[in-house]
A and B are shown apart, each in its own frame.
Chain A
Amino acid sequence: MQINLRHKGSVTILDIEGNLVGPNTIALKNIIDNQIQEASGQPVFMILNMERVQMMDSSGLGVIVAAYASIRRNNGRVVLLNIGGNIRSLIVMAKLVTIFDRYDTEAEAIASFF
């Protein structure tokens, strides 16, 4: 799995590629935790670009739920970009559809923070 970290203004974007499954999820968790730590209590605005994520399991789901909870604690937001049908279905099954805002374009996702 590969994760590319980039910033657009105050928005952090993580482009994730590969399966968000099992031990793979640790890398994503570490990157998110580092971003939260570096923000030193300031709100984090984060986009998880999942266009190239083919599969996600409960471990992957756990990482993005934990990110949502941690980031919200400091009045930040994490949103999902370009999720495929299988991941959408997983989020619906887990009743997390009302928790995560989802966007189809990066511009829409960025605009949602302002």
Chain B
Amino acid sequence: MGEKTQLRIFLSLPSTMQLIYLLDTVISDILREMNFDEETQEHVNLAVIEAGTNAIKHGNKEDTNKTATFEFLIEDDKLTIVITDEGPGFQREDVANPLEPENLLKSSGRGLFLMEACMDEVIYEAEGTIVKMIKFKQSPNL
């Protein structure tokens, strides 16, 4: 049985939204290298931008003394992304569902929903200060 190929890329950013574009560059290259189809690339790219925004803006409150880290674990069958911030954390169940009629016209609150819609798995750990997102090369439902 052959060994699984694994590659780990680690990115540590000071918490300023001006650096969110670095994330876009890094994840775009990873997704292209992994040969995800174009639609999946767009979805994962969006999920990473949303998770980065949450970590930098909502978690670390754009305090440049705080760091947001992004770990990309590349395997043959999946991409795992672990995002960590130094904020106080949150409870997923406290975040309102943006699809409810009373929330549809709110100007914010869609980030977590989009991450979950775009990835195969999203796991919140350590009070939400660590978010693990997984995209499989093939849908796990197939």
Contacts and interface: CB of A to CB of B under 8 A. Distances in A.
A96 B106 CA distance: 11
A21 B114 contact: no
Interface size class of A (residues with CB under 8 A): 20 to 34
A48 B42 CA distance: 21
A32 to B, nearest CB: 12
Contact of A23 (B18, B39, B45, B111): B18
B95 to A, nearest CB: 12
A25 to B, nearest CB: 10
Contacts of A22: 17, 20-21, 49, 53
B49 A90 contact: no
B14 interface: no
B108 A62 contact: yes
Contacts of B20: 21-23
B7 interface: no
Interface string B39-53: 100100110011001
Main SS at interface, chain A: helix
A89 B45 CA distance: 14
B110 interface: yes
A34 to B, nearest CB: 17
B108 A58 contact: yes
B123 interface: no
A90 B105 CA distance: 15
A35 to B, nearest CB: 17
Contacts of B141: none
Given A23-B17, A62-B108, A94 B53 contact: no
9 contacts: A55-B46, A58-B53, A58-B111, A61-B110, A62-B110, A63-B107, A93-B114, A94-B99, A96-B104
